[in-house]
A and B are shown apart, each in its own frame.
Chain A
Amino acid sequence: MPSRRFSRPRAAVVVTAAVALLLAACSPGGGTASEPSSEPVAGGTLTYASGDAEPSCLDPHVGGNYPQALIATQYLESLVSLDDDGEVIPWLATEWTESDDGMAWEFSLRDDVTFTDGTPFDAAAVAANIAHVQDPATASSTGYLALAKITDVVAVDDHTVRLELSAPDSALLESLSQVWVAMESPKALERSQEDNCAAPVGTGPFVVDEWERQDSVTLVRNDDYNSPPADAEGTGLPYLDSIVWRFIPDSASRYAALQSGEAQVIDNAQPDTIKSAESDDAIEELDAPRPGASNRIELNSGKAPFDDERVREAFIRSVNVDDGIQSLFFGTAERSYSPLSSVEPLGLSLPDLFTVDTDAAANLLDEAGWAERDADGYRVKDGKRLTLDFPVSTNQSIPAEQSLFEQIQADAKTAGFEVNLHPLDLSSWYGALAENDYDLVSAPYTKVGPDVLRILYHSDSITPAPSGYFANLAQVDDAALDDLLTRASATSNADDRESMYEQAQRIVLDGYYILPLYDQQNHFLYSSAVQGLRAMPTVSTPTFAGAWLVS
């Protein structure tokens, strides 16, 4: 049998090397981080390691979740974009006008843009894209809901298009800025959905080259790229030759990949690693809270026991999430008291509703008829235990968040709630929601602007979109709220809009339908060799259009 031991000289070399490495690791860092070099460098391959679930389709029209948005931002572009102040700016559309009655919008399109398969970008392409999103066979959910008011798309001429609406839509431009309704080649859309999912064709800075499932997607430079959004900086974009978009679900491995240089950018960075990266000159952080909804736990008011507002209030009053957020997130997340993200200017915060008060909670449960406790300390009513099912999507919740849910479970137990956490993969999780098999659920929802409230809390959203997903997971069914949300989305008066959205948020918060936690966390860690990386002001996905690698 051959010996597996090191020979002595070899062992000596290994030990010396290890000591040298250790010393190198312990010695103080070599000065401050290099200043961003002013001259972008062309070329190179960047590796991005994603912790999100690998999309089953690379076309964000289909379904429409955040992992799709992350990657599609690199190869698809929208009609409009936002600047850092949240103002709508031109992208594939150069200008636009709303009709006086608000029932139609006319967009002038760029006439010098072609898709990467050679198809020209024109009015017919816009029509084909909107039709694709609205086609039930596409099974779109995010894009479908965002474009729900568009009834007809008319090509006025080759590069002018008119969108006709069923009702005025104050959120139309915000909706169109999202990558879930980005423009794809109409010729490519004619392929089978399977083909289009594997390699969508857009006008973006990169092109989908190859998708090795369960491993990575390779994106290569679009050599004819000429259509950055109006706020983009630099010429000769993009600089990178290619991007390898890897899927590394395990957060520790992902961070290790960044540290070792195997990856240059990682997403879904864990709070403890963000904290320890602060002192590391070789690693930078990009914190880009997502717009739209805050990260919150929805209480399913559509069935017992949460159909009783007192039980909902009792639950919310009995769980302490502040301490957990502090310790689990190491100061990288701030507690939210609003249905909307902190980046939404119209967000309403009502902290007083969420003060922990276990006595009040106990009284409310007594009042609601859950007065007795069984041998395990759980409350019972008519022989039934106060049980709450909480399906948790392990793909959409980072471990720190899952730990927070465990702490909520422990707190709720003291109050007499039995919370059953069900860690599920994404498809089983969607299944549990479709079966109405949940009492508590945390579902991220990203959309530009406060119109997300209509999608999340209008009673219409209890009806599933073509994908089978319904967004009103709290199952709020309130006529006054419906009315406010409908009117707010139609008004063009900014003050009215603001006050209506404020009232709407008040109804949602006062009704104890949700327990807001924090913004949808969107932390990226990247090597300091990466320059020019920025998050899109639309849905906060990073774009590599202007990124380059310092050698």
Chain B
Amino acid sequence: MSGLRAAVDRAAVVRAAVVHGTGFRPTAAEAVAGLVLLLVLVAALWPGLLAPGDPLATSPADAFQAPSPAHLFGTDESGRDIYTRVVHGARDSLLIGVLATGIGIGLATVLGFVAGLGPRWLDFGTTRLVEVLFAFPGLLLALLFIVVTGPGVLSSTIAVGLATAPGYARIIRSQVRRTASAEFIEAARVLGRGRLWIVARHILPNVTAALFVLATLGLGQAIIWVSSLSYLGLGAVPPAAEWGAMLAAGRTYIANFWWMTFFPGLAIVASAAAATVIGRGIQKRNRSAA
């Protein structure tokens, strides 16, 4: 009996390991994306390594300089070095992106599990709630939240987290339900495993794999949303080195000084695209493994 139980448990773990995708060859796009994410990560954790300067140091005499060896990305209207600001901005964008995704997925996990495993009426209630929230475009939901709480980095982070939660919740619910009806779960139940044990040991690992993909894809989206909110003046406040805020500041001068908007924009596009490429890569492998 216990032997059978162990075998079933092992099967579940193996499934989870496969979807994590150990040992594959990355495509060229994935390699580039990985490199970009690595750079962004280094910039976020140790910005001083890539750009030792102060992102807020002004120098009016050096304002509006085009990209040159001295200022790789040029300078902005106050003579601040845009390269330094883009590098230091990675921390804000990435941190807010990760936190927002974390909030979104955390909330979604709770909702998804409640709906996926709870009694039918609870499933019905939760699913309807998620559907109502889903009817709002995500950014609108985030804006609504900010209108209530007031602008700022913290509220824009929570706002993006909340706004992304319904989408995740829906995917997690179906994942939970699919796993819950799998044969090995049935087997575990027959073998007398407790409810919580099954959730923790069998369902969660299987859902986590999907969550990982979602989180990677979501990170890219969250970076864009956070930048959008800052661009609208609802997130980071000037003169903070935040990509969206820099984009907004450069907008005024776009006709004459393109580099003020181009480089922060490039950073947003590159990091969001990189996260998406990596996420899709993992997703594809998951599917073929399944």
B-contact 0/1 string along A375-412, CB 8 Å cutoff: 00000000000000000001000011011001101110
Stretch at the interface among B56-64, B87-95, B165-173: B56-64
Q: A327 contacts B253, CB within 8 Å?
A: no
Residue of B nearest to A256 (CB): B255
Residue of B nearest to A404 (CB): B78
Q: Roughly how many angstroms separate A326 CA and B61 CA in the complex, as a whole number?
A: 9
Known contacts A402-B238, A407-B60: does B249 contact A276 (CB below 8 Å)?
A: no
- Residue B77, interface by CB 8 Å: yes
Top 5 nearest A-B pairs by Cβ distance? A323-B60, A327-B63, A399-B252, A406-B239, A410-B58
Q: A421 contacts B60, CB within 8 Å?
A: no
Q: Roughly how many angstroms separate A421 CA and B240 CA in the complex, as a whole number?
A: 11
Q: B60 contacts A326, CB within 8 Å?
A: yes
Residue numbers in A under 8 Å from B184 (CB-CB): none
Q: A327 contacts B252, CB within 8 Å?
A: no
CB proximity of A487 to chain B, nearest CB, Å = 42
Q: Roughly how many angstroms separate A171 CA and B61 CA in the complex, as a whole number?
A: 43
Q: Which of B58, B237, B255, B257 contacts A407, CB < 8 Å?
A: B58
> Among the interface residues A256, A270, A394, A399, which one has the most CB atoms of the partner chain B within 10 A?
A399
Interface size for A (C-beta < 8 A) is 29
Q: A272 contacts B233, CB within 8 Å?
A: no
CB proximity of B112 to chain A, nearest CB, Å = 33
Residue of A nearest to B248 (CB): A399
> Among the interface residues A255, A270, A272, A400, which one has the most CB atoms of the partner chain B within 10 A?
A272
- Residue B2, interface by CB 8 Å: no
A-contact 0/1 string along B243-257, CB 8 Å cutoff: 000000101111111
CB pairs A–B below 8 angstroms (20 shown) = A250-B251, A252-B252, A255-B255, A272-B256, A275-B256, A276-B256, A324-B60, A324-B78, A327-B60, A328-B60, A328-B78, A399-B249, A399-B252, A400-B252, A403-B249, A409-B239, A410-B57, A410-B58, A421-B239, A423-B233
Residue numbers in B under 8 Å from A252 (CB-CB): 251-255
Residue numbers in A under 8 Å from B58 (CB-CB): 324, 406-407, 410-411
Residue numbers in A under 8 Å from B255 (CB-CB): 252, 255-256, 272-273, 276
Residue numbers in B under 8 Å from A422 (CB-CB): 237
- Residue A528, interface by CB 8 Å: no
- Residue B79, interface by CB 8 Å: yes
Residue of A nearest to B261 (CB): A252
Q: A410 contacts B56, CB within 8 Å?
A: yes
Residue numbers in B under 8 Å from A423 (CB-CB): 233, 237-238
CB proximity of B146 to chain A, nearest CB, Å = 14
CB proximity of A141 to chain B, nearest CB, Å = 27
Q: Which of B64, B79, B252 contacts A270, CB < 8 Å?
A: B252
Q: In residues 44-76 of chain B, which contact A (Cβ within 8 Å)? A: 56-58, 60-61, 63-64
CB proximity of A418 to chain B, nearest CB, Å = 13
Residue numbers in B under 8 Å from A251 (CB-CB): 252
Known contacts A324-B60, A328-B63: does B237 contact A421 (CB below 8 Å)?
A: yes
Residue numbers in B under 8 Å from A275 (CB-CB): 256
Q: Roughly how many angstroms separate A410 CA and B64 CA in the complex, as a whole number?
A: 18
CB proximity of A431 to chain B, nearest CB, Å = 13
Q: Roughly how many angstroms separate A251 CA and B253 CA in the complex, as a whole number?
A: 9
Q: Roughly how many angstroms separate A218 CA and B138 CA in the complex, as a whole number?
A: 36
Residue numbers in A under 8 Å from B249 (CB-CB): 399, 403
CB proximity of B2 to chain A, nearest CB, Å = 56
Residue numbers in A under 8 Å from B56 (CB-CB): 410
CB proximity of B187 to chain A, nearest CB, Å = 45
Q: B237 contacts A400, CB within 8 Å?
A: no
Residue of A nearest to B57 (CB): A410
Q: Roughly how many angstroms separate A169 CA and B233 CA in the complex, as a whole number?
A: 45
Q: Roughly how many angstroms separate A436 CA and B61 CA in the complex, as a whole number?
A: 35
CB proximity of A181 to chain B, nearest CB, Å = 35
Q: In residues 314-370 of chain A, which contact B (Cβ within 8 Å)? A: 320, 323-324, 326-328
A-contact 0/1 string along B233-275, CB 8 Å cutoff: 1000111000000000101111111000000000000000000
Q: Roughly how many angstroms separate A256 CA and B255 CA in the complex, as a whole number?
A: 9
Q: A328-B63, A407-B58, A411-B58 known; 5 other A-B pairs, CB under 8 Å?
A: A252-B251, A272-B256, A273-B255, A323-B60, A421-B238
Q: Roughly how many angstroms separate A276 CA and B254 CA in the complex, as a whole number?
A: 12
Residue numbers in B under 8 Å from A410 (CB-CB): 56-58, 78, 239
Residue numbers in B under 8 Å from A270 (CB-CB): 252-253
Residue of B nearest to A403 (CB): B77
Residue numbers in B under 8 Å from A326 (CB-CB): 60
Residue of A nearest to B61 (CB): A323
Residue of B nearest to A411 (CB): B58
Residue of A nearest to B62 (CB): A327
CB proximity of B111 to chain A, nearest CB, Å = 35
Q: Roughly how many angstroms separate A275 CA and B64 CA in the complex, as a whole number?
A: 14
Q: Roughly how many angstroms separate A411 CA and B58 CA in the complex, as a whole number?
A: 8
Q: B57 contacts A400, CB within 8 Å?
A: no
Q: Roughly how many angstroms separate A547 CA and B139 CA in the complex, as a whole number?
A: 45
Residue numbers in B under 8 Å from A406 (CB-CB): 58, 78, 238-239
Residue numbers in B under 8 Å from A402 (CB-CB): 238
CB proximity of A317 to chain B, nearest CB, Å = 18
CB proximity of A398 to chain B, nearest CB, Å = 8
CB proximity of B238 to chain A, nearest CB, Å = 6
A-contact 0/1 string along B172-207, CB 8 Å cutoff: 000000000000000000000000000000000000
Q: In residues 222-240 of chain A, which contact B (Cβ within 8 Å)? A: none
Q: Roughly how many angstroms separate A64 CA and B233 CA in the complex, as a whole number?
A: 27
Q: Roughly how many angstroms separate A222 CA and B38 CA in the complex, as a whole number?
A: 67
Residue numbers in B under 8 Å from A394 (CB-CB): 233
Residue of A nearest to B75 (CB): A327
Residue numbers in A under 8 Å from B64 (CB-CB): 272, 327
Residue of B nearest to A400 (CB): B77
Q: Roughly how many angstroms separate A413 CA and B257 CA in the complex, as a whole number?
A: 28
Q: Roughly how many angstroms separate A394 CA and B237 CA in the complex, as a whole number?
A: 13
Residue of B nearest to A326 (CB): B60
Q: Roughly how many angstroms separate A403 CA and B238 CA in the complex, as a whole number?
A: 9
Q: A407 contacts B238, CB within 8 Å?
A: no
B-contact 0/1 string along A420-459, CB 8 Å cutoff: 0111000000000000000000000000000000000000
Q: B256 contacts A327, CB within 8 Å?
A: no
Q: Roughly how many angstroms separate A324 CA and B64 CA in the complex, as a whole number?
A: 12
Q: Roughly how many angstroms separate A394 CA and B254 CA in the complex, as a whole number?
A: 19
CB proximity of B126 to chain A, nearest CB, Å = 36
CB proximity of B55 to chain A, nearest CB, Å = 11
Q: Roughly how many angstroms separate A270 CA and B57 CA in the complex, as a whole number?
A: 24
